[in-house]
Amino acid sequence: MSNFKIFDIAGSGMSAQSVRLNTVASNLANADSVSGDPNSVYKARHPIFQAVMGSVAGLGHDQSTAQVSVTGISESQAAPETRYDPGNPLADAQGNVYAPNVNVVEEMADMISASRSYQNDVEVLNTSRDMMLATLKLGQS
């Protein structure tokens, strides 16, 4: 097994967390948007992660070749929030506007978690690189 697979594993984790950060940013950017139609209002989005296990020479799964992939982005099926705002130009006949089902507190916690996971993957890459460079320097006089 190659020692360079750690770069693939950490890189796939960074890529997945980047998608997660982008969906959180999209959710936060649309948290205050409203619509006059409950079917057209923004719906919170969340990435779906999957661990992809590689097999070595047909012997089954080897965790050293595991990676993270984003299999899709799911939209929340929760009902939008109904607000009575007859002065809003988007209000329907009853004076209601519909706000997205985005919980800003949960999104901020998700953003912090994704950011820290990304930082951990960067640390794994840096530590692995430093260890490989130190190993190469062992043979030098």
What are 106-135's pLDDT values in tens digits?
999 999 999 999 999 999 999 999 999 898
Rounded-to-integer distance, Cα 16 and Cα 117, Å: 10
Prediction pTM value? 0.82
6-25 pLDDT, tens digit each: 888 899 999 999 999 999 99
How much is the pLDDT for 139? 77
How much is the pLDDT for 138? 87
140 sits in the region (left: phi over 0; alpha: psi -120 to 50; else beta) called beta
Rounded-to-integer distance, Cα 16 and Cα 18, Å: 5
Parallel/antiparallel/unpaired status of strands 81-84 and 61-75: unpaired
